[in-house]
A and B are shown apart, each in its own frame.
Chain A
């Protein structure tokens, strides 16, 4: 595939975080999260993004066709987005996989065991509590993965693109997890909210 064939849409979440939505999948069937250049080693895409001068990347999350970049640099996304786009194009079109599979945990690795255990507990909360509740507004919340105690989720149905999705996430789900699975360190929403075709609540100008 040629680099020009890949369409990338940058969706800044705030000054620090931006989602890059690709027209092709980067990592099918899972999530990889990188928080240091060392962790990025072996995954050309992550290595290239961590190596962008002055960007000061603190976190990179890859799932399906979405790459979420968290940076510490104050530079606006408009100024640095192209460099990220170039890094994505050059590595996604290379012969080697852009993102390596998650390393198999060494036996006895306590963090890996914890993530697996957390996954089970978070999945149970989603299945038994969160989803029955959000289903009343035609929504659903999918647990994508847990890495380093950070939960990655995707919202669908009435939640996707909903004007109150952030409230559901931060005031609802985050609070429930803090209470029921206190070992969870954070939540990352990897939903492409702009594609929501049937949001439950819609905004108007004022």
Chain B
């Protein structure tokens, strides 16, 4: 299930080709070629998982389906509904729902005594000034169903809470965003800010057992007020004992949410009190970041492992390659319309850099966090140690220059004063 907004289309299509799997691509918008290949292209309403699952059941009567894979939070939910309906390998719907709903997730994790920040669910309509007087600081405001840190804001006092609340309210007022949040569009979480070092864990759950595929360090501090990610590098330099505690924490979260099969991506922090589960999603790592992961002697991709697992095919290896690898999600350089990116060749020429992919196109409007979340590109590096990989990523990034046209003022502000 490949939404039209995913970066992972090529990787999954290529993985299916590599292992000779006949593929049906389901998207939320119709391909113009759907009529020409009715077995290979399908349009589903991803906002209605049960309806989508019914449509797949009918489709499968003519074109049998042997496995289903979702690639993001939304399609993971639809994939669970399809797996349940067609009795395929996958997660139960309640687990996928819990993984994609930050409030439900925290409720279940708290019940299972998984270490998580203290949290409370609030309605946007409640008076922010009143709430601001009743909570502890620092804390973090989070939309319940957005991902990629969109709309996530740290606040340190009552005044900044009121400002952040207004900003979050505006983000959730956008019709497309509200649709993505469904019945949580008028709610948000207030969560204790956990200081510490953040890591990401990439895993594959096989019959309820979590296999850790990689732990990524996030060397840039994520202390807010916004949480734009930059560098992921693996293997982690976290001491082995702490990595084991991080894995145990993620494992407990997987079991608490009822995830039984498929990829998981978790974000955790650790400090002197141990690891803390910040988020867990029943999907693989986002963006194009999976390109840094290779497994076994043949360098099998993460997508191939996921497809093989969904189909019950043998998986050659879950052991990541020996080399260190890293990716930088290129920070959004500012608000405006992208005119040009220069320095790409120089960035690619930095030793250890494997690729620089600029995914924003000229004319595209760049929106910084917390309103935006679309990175303008990705930088990939591989080397002997995490430290040299991180250095290469930073050096390559320093070569890039983004030329932006400043954002247009709102129409009302640009209009001349009436006579």
Asked if B32 CB lies within 8 Å of chain A CBs, one says yes
Please tell me if A133 contacts chain B, counting CB pairs below 8 Å.
yes
Q: Is the CB of B329 within 8 A of A76?
A: no
| Interface secondary structure of A, over-half rule | mixed
Dominant SS among interface residues on chain B = loop
Q: A74-B299, A171-B40 are in contact. Are A164 and B9 (CB under 8 A)?
A: yes
Once the chains bind, are B31 and A175 in contact (CB under 8 Å)?
no
Smallest Cβ distance from A166 to chain B, in angstroms?
4
Contact partners of B358 in chain A: CB under 8 A: 194
At the interface, yes or no: B227 with Cβ under 8 Å from chain A? Answer: no
Bound-state Cα–Cα, A139 to B31, Å: 12
A171 to B31, Cβ gap below 8 A? yes
Q: Which residues of B contact A172 (CB under 8 A)?
A: 31-33, 36-37, 40-41
Is A156 on the interface with B (CB-CB < 8 A)?
A: no
Q: Which A residues are in CB contact (< 8 Å) with B298?
A: 74
CA A10 to CA B353, docked complex, whole Å = 11
Q: Is the CB of B373 within 8 A of A205?
A: yes
A77 at the interface (CB under 8 A from B): yes
Q: Indicate whether A163 sits within 8 Å of B9 (C-beta atoms), given known contacts A171-B25, A204-B148.
A: yes
What does the 1/0 interface line of A127-146 toward B look like (CB < 8 Å)?
Answer: 00110011111010000000
Q: A9-B344, A133-B32, A175-B36 are in contact. Are A196 and B361 (CB under 8 A)?
A: yes
Cα distance A47–B296 in the bound complex, in angstroms: 33
Give the size category of B's interface with A: 35 or more
Binds A, one of B10-18, B248-256, B402-410: B10-18
Contact of A167 with B286 in the complex, beta carbons under 8 Å: no
- A185 close to B (CB within 8 Å): no
Interface hits, A172-206 → B, CB 8 Å: 172-173, 175-176, 194, 196-199, 201-206
What residues of chain A lie closer than 8 Å to B299, measured between beta carbons? 15, 74
Nearest CB of B to A174, in Å: 9
Contact residues in B for A201 (Cβ distance below 8 Å): 4-5, 29
**What residue of chain B has the Cβ atom nearest to residue A158's Cβ?**
B32
Contact of B41 among A15, A171, A202 (CB under 8 A): A171
B359 in contact with A167 (CB, 8 Å): no
Q: How far is the CA of A177 from the CA of B357 in the complex (A)?
A: 30
Q: Does B352 contact A (CB under 8 A)?
A: yes
Q: Once bound together, how far apart are the Cα atoms of A176 and B37, in whole Å?
A: 7
Q: B84 contacts the other chain (Cβ, under 8 Å)?
A: no
Report if A205-B286 is in contact (Cβ < 8 Å); known contacts: A175-B37, A198-B361: yes
A21 to chain B, nearest CB (A): 10
- B40 adjacent to A168 (CB under 8 Å): no
A161 touches B375 (CB 8 A): no
Can you list 9 residue pairs at the A/B interface with Cβ under 8 Å?
Answer: A78-B352, A78-B355, A78-B381, A164-B31, A166-B10, A172-B31, A194-B358, A198-B361, A205-B287
Q: Residues of A at under 8 Å CB distance from B?
A: 7-12, 14-15, 74, 76-78, 129-130, 133-137, 139, 161, 163-168, 170-173, 175-176, 194, 196-199, 201-206
